[in-house]
Chain A
Amino acid sequence: MSAPQNRINNPSRRNFIAATAVGAASLGAVALAPGLHLIEVSQASAPSAGASSKVRWGMLIDTTKCASGCDECVQACNTENGINETVQDARQGSQWIRKIDLKDPQSGRQHSLPMMCQHCEKPPCVDVCPTGASMKRADGIVLVDRHICIGCRYCMMACPYKARSFVHQPLTEQNPQVPRGMGCVESCTFCVQRVDRGLKPACVEACPEGAMTFGDLNDPNSDIARRLANEASTQVRADLKLGLGVRYQGI
């Protein structure tokens, strides 16, 4: 135990490290040994800290504000995520978010709402995935790791919200920030590429009625947490006890 500590505290070693860091800053990249480089030092800005389990991203959708016939959120999602391919069979088109119209047959009350991946705390798609491709980030965002997805589509079967789609054809016009392609399953990512830059998901930003609120459920001062604490809200199929990140009002 003591030997490595001594080595770290050894002044000559510290000087060497400091000297190497200076060298790296001036040269751009320094070879410490074959195959080992101080590339991080040469970068102007350090990499971000990454997703934290202190944060739990969530969304609150007020269906009383959501207008029937409006699909601005769907359009914004398609633009942001490069979902622009023409599919031969309409049933095969990718839907990361879709609009649903509901009608209570007894009262005749109608409402409209967007439905997408609910970013479960205990996602069934992660449970069933045989490869570990379906995964949940520390901050609660559920994603597909396409690098190891084999396209078996178990997760599509397991999802109670019909949130996942399968890409059936080769794609060429992807957004560089949103890789997607044939043979993999995909779904709403809460626009993770935007969230990591401190932006809101595209659908939230696009909604003309302000029906969607996005934020950190764990931060008691966030808009969304305060509203959830003071107003009634529902989780769709709450009986499944999946701990949804997306909540609805007015249904």
Chain B
Amino acid sequence: MKAVALALLLALTSVLALAGAPKPVIRIENPGQCIAPAAEMRKNHMEMLKHQRDRTLRQGIRGEAASLNECINCHAGKTSGTVTGQDGFCQQCHSYVAVKLDCWDCHQPKAGNQHAATGVKP
């Protein structure tokens, strides 16, 4: 009896979970050639960026294929100009899988030369 109830509960929650979380809508607004196929990027982008960041910062190696700035340049929304925010390319999936995005605490999520450094004294 207990087992049946548990199975029922499990089935119910999984159905609810499936119904409850809307799948992320991924819009690629600047389609083109990524550095690896989509399936690979989905699975390994964090590994690529992690190893590249260490080589760039610690060894001074510049111009590698994996580059956060290059991600932004292709994947920033055309109107928002950024990869963050509700419809942001990064935010969509990261919200869905509930993985916090730390990158943009320090890195600039806006594309192009929207850098507004004014040189005002702190």
Q: Does B121 contact A (CB under 8 A)?
A: yes
Q: Quick one: which of A29, A94, A184, A192 contacts B122, CB cutoff 8 A? A: A94
Residue of A nearest to B73 (CB): A176
| Minimum CB–CB distance for B72 against chain A, Å | 8
Q: How far is the CA of A81 from the CA of B122 in the complex (A)?
A: 12
Contact of A47 (CB < 8 Å), options: B64, B110, B117: B64
Does B115 contact A176, Cβ atoms closer than 8 Å? yes
Chain A residues touching B, range: 35 or more
Scan B79-122; emit 1 where CB is below 8 A from any A CB, else 0: 00000000000000000000000000111101000011111111
Q: Which residues of B contact A40 (CB under 8 A)?
A: 64-65
Give Cα A79 to B119, complex, Å.
4
Does A42 count as interface, using CB distance less than 8 angstroms? yes
Q: Are A95 and B122 in contact (CB under 8 A)?
A: yes
- CB pair A93 B119 closer than 8 Å: no
| Interface pick from B5-13, B14-22, B23-31, B32-40 | B32-40
On whether A87 and B69 interact (CB within 8 A), knowing A35-B43, A143-B57, A146-B106, the answer reads: no
> Cβ of A43 and Cβ of B65 under 8 Å apart?
yes
Q: A29-B35, A176-B108, A180-B106 are in contact. Are A78 and B40 (CB under 8 A)?
A: no
Q: Check if B115 sits within 8 Å of A82, measured CB to CB.
A: yes
- A45: nearest residue on chain B (CB-CB)? B63
Do residues B117 and A84 form an inter-chain contact, with CB atoms below 8 A?
A: yes
A138 CA / B61 CA spacing, docked (Å): 12
List B contacts of A145 (CB < 8 A): 57-58
Docked-complex contact A84 and B106, CB < 8 angstroms: no
Please judge, given known A-B contacts A176-B107, A180-B106, whether A75 and B119 are in contact too, CB under 8 Å.
Answer: yes
Total A-B residue contacts, Cβ distance less than 8 Å: 124
Q: Which residue of B lies closest to A48 (CB)?
A: B62
Is A1's CB within 8 Å of the partner chain B? Answer: no
Asked whether A196 is an interface residue with its Cβ less than 8 Å from the other chain, the reply is: yes
Encode A77-89 as 1/0 by CB contact (under 8 A) with B.
0111111111100
Query: What separation, in Å, do the CA atoms of A142 and B20 have in the docked complex?
Result: 49
Interface of chain A: mostly helix, strand, loop or mixed = loop
Q: Quick check: A79 and B118 within 8 Å, CB to CB?
A: yes
Selected contact of B60 from candidates A28, A45, A139, A182, CB within 8 Å: A139
Task: Specify which chain B residues have a CB less than 8 angstroms from the CB of A78 in the assembled complex.
Answer: 117, 119-122
**Is A116 among interface residues, defined by CB-CB distance under 8 A?**
no
| Neighbouring A residues of B43 by C-beta, 8 Å | 35
* A74 in contact (CB, < 8 A): yes
A159 to B98, CA, bound (A): 39
User: What is the CB-to-nearest-CB distance from A200 to chain B, in angstroms, rounded to a whole number?
Assistant: 16
**A132–chain B nearest beta-carbon distance, Å:** 10
* Least Cβ–Cβ distance between B82 and chain A, in angstroms: 10
Q: Verify B105–A170 contact, CB threshold 8 A.
A: yes
Instruction: Write the chain B residue with the least CB distance to A181.
Output: B106
Interface residues of B (CB under 8 A from A): 33-37, 40, 43-44, 53-55, 57-66, 69, 72, 105-108, 110, 115-122
19 intermolecular pairs with C-beta atoms under 8 Å apart = A29-B34, A29-B35, A47-B62, A47-B63, A48-B62, A50-B60, A74-B121, A78-B122, A79-B119, A82-B117, A84-B119, A84-B120, A94-B122, A138-B59, A147-B53, A147-B54, A174-B107, A176-B69, A176-B115
Where the two chains meet, the residues of A that have a C-beta atom closer than 8 Å to any C-beta of B are: 28-29, 31, 35, 37, 39-40, 42-43, 45-51, 71, 74-76, 78-87, 90, 93-95, 135, 137-139, 143, 145-147, 170-171, 173-177, 179-184, 192, 196-197
